[in-house]
Structure formats: C-alpha cells, structure tokens
Homo-oligomer: A and B are copies of this chain.
Amino acid sequence: MSYGKGTRKVSQDRGLIRYLMRHRHTTPFEMVEFKFHCKMPIFVARQWVRHRTANINEYSLRYSKARDEFYYPDPEHIQFQSALNKQGRSGKVPKKLTDKVQQYFHEISERSFEMYQELNEAGLARELIRGILPVNLYTEWYWKNDLHNLLHFISLRSDSHAQYEIRVYSDAMADFVKKVAPHAWEAYQDYEVRGLRFSRIEQNMLNQHLPNRVIDDILEDLAYQVTATLHKNKPREDHELYPLYRKQEGHDTEDDFQLKWESGEIQTGNVREMREFKSKLQSL
C-alpha cells in the first residue's frame, strides 16, 4: 500500500514480506486477522488474556453452568521448582511424588465440582458458587487477533521461558500460522525468533576477542555472494564479473576469483540482506 502499486508476483511478495519484517514495518501484518476457538485451564487463560490487542468472547460462568472438565498434568510435566529460574520447572520427580500431585489435582477437582453441583441444584447463584472451583477448570473462548500481534504472542509464549501449559497452545497456533502465512512465518523466525541478539556489553567482549581475520573472511565471502546474486538476477557478460566483484570490495586477484567462481560453491541470497550484514560486521 505504501508504494501505491497493484498486485505483484509471489517471489516479489516474499522479498517484500521479508523486508517489512526485517525493518519492523508492522502495519501490513496487522491487516491479516486470525480467529481461534480454544479451550484451556483458567490459569492458562489468565496469562493469555494479558495480550490486550486481541478480542475475546468467553464462556461465562455467570450465565452458564460449569462443566466437569479439568486439567490434570501428565507425569512428565510434573517437575520441581527450578533453582535458577524463579518462574520455571526442571528435574525428574519420583513416581511417588507425581502420583501424589495427580491425586491432589483429582481430589480437589472432583470434590469442588461435587459441591458446585450440589449448590447449583439447590438453586444458588452460579456467579457466586463458581468461587470454589480451582484454576485447572477448563474455560473456553473465541480469540481473535491480527498477524503482527499473534506472532508477538507466539514469540513470547512459545519461548522456552513460557509455562509448558500455555506453550502447547502457542505451538498449535504457530502451526496454523505457518500454513496460512508461510512467508511471514519464515521471516519472523529468521529475524526475530532464531536471530541472535548481543547486548552492548556482550558486543564489547566479542569485539575484544574476534580476530579481524574472521571478519575479513566473512566479508570476502559476502563479496562473492553479492556478485553471484546480482549476476543471477540480471546475467552479466563474463568480462563484467570481476569488476562487479571488485565493486563489492572483494580483494582476491582475478585468477583467484576465476578459480572460486568456477567452483560452483558460491551461495546466492538477497542482496539487500547481505549488505545489511556487511555493515553490521564492519561495525564490530
């Protein structure tokens, strides 16, 4: 839209989508809307609802009777409080203890639902008597969000720091996004999720130890890759190739260039991305 152009080829779309994602132009991704029908334990819903851009329509325990549906953790997800991560779990729990956890979950769920049933049959107000139901009770909602904010949700909730019980929902939604919006998904993974971010302090340490030779090697590779990519996009005459490579700040002699060029080992990619990488390396 920003360009005021009409429709384009798929390959151009992919490039544009990657460019937009890389440069955090988020508005086009807000134009795509996803709607999910989900059922989850209340303690999961409580984390989920904090993503405020979504629209939610939830099953109401004021209007409707609670249903006998509770979350019981599988033994492999019953773990110890993590010592390192105050909000995580880790370690293997002996069977005797996982059994106890499961038994407690069952006891409270069943006992509270029994009471709820009895009070409900006695005609008491549903909005009040739900107060005894535990947060592992399932609730249900329609949840609608745009792609930009959905990807943000997934990046936070499919992260290893997220609680397992919300991660499974996030991963399931991720599978849908992947199918429906494969280019946006791939770009988000490449730039946001699987990218590696160094803080200013880490960068300084990296600088102290990184030999210039390493940087130079990568820059040389980039000169070849940019040349090959430009040639692939718009084929050049043979005699134009070495000058083009030199323009990309390659330092090899013409003979060495020929050898490597003919090796067939040079990868191609996206010129703009390569140039951005180059300037990052030069900043090191």
Which positions in A face B, CB cutoff 8 Å? 1-4, 22-24, 27-28, 30-31, 33, 35, 41-43, 45-46, 49-50, 52, 55-64, 67, 71, 73, 77-82, 86-89, 93, 97, 100-101, 104-105, 107-109, 111-112, 115, 119-120, 122-136, 140-142, 144, 146, 156, 161, 163, 165, 189-191, 194-203, 205-206, 209-211, 214, 217-218, 221-222, 269, 273, 277, 280, 283-284
- Asked if A89 contacts B127 (CB within 8 A), the reply is yes
- Asked if B144 contacts A33 (CB within 8 A), the reply is yes
> Can you list 8 A-B pairs with a CB-CB distance of less than 8 A?
A2-B64, A43-B61, A49-B50, A73-B128, A89-B128, A93-B124, A107-B111, A201-B269
**Which one of B24, B63, B209 contacts A221 once the chains associate, using CB atoms below 8 Å?**
B209
User: How many whole Å from A150's CB to the nearest CB in chain B?
Assistant: 13
Q: Which residues of B contact A283 (CB under 8 A)?
A: 196
Assembly CA distance A78 to B129 (angstroms): 9
Known: A163-B62, A201-B273. A119 touches B101 (CB 8 A): yes
Assembly CA distance A46 to B198 (angstroms): 34
- Asked if A57 contacts B1 (CB within 8 A), the reply is yes
Q: Which residues of B contact A221 (CB under 8 A)?
A: 205, 209
**Which one of B80, B130, B196 contacts A197 once the chains associate, using CB atoms below 8 Å?**
B196
- Asked if A87 contacts B111 (CB within 8 A), the reply is no
Q: Which residues of B contact A60 (CB under 8 A)?
A: 2-3, 87
User: How many whole Å from A131's CB to the nearest CB in chain B?
Assistant: 4
Assembly CA distance A41 to B46 (angstroms): 13
Q: Which residues of B contact A165 (CB under 8 A)?
A: 128
**Which one of B22, B35, B55 contacts A27 once the chains associate, using CB atoms below 8 Å?**
B55
**Which one of B127, B190, B284 contacts A87 once the chains associate, using CB atoms below 8 Å?**
B127
Q: Which residues of B contact A67 (CB under 8 A)?
A: 4
- Of chain B, the residue at the smallest CB distance from A161 is B23
Q: Which residues of B contact A133 (CB under 8 A)?
A: 134-135
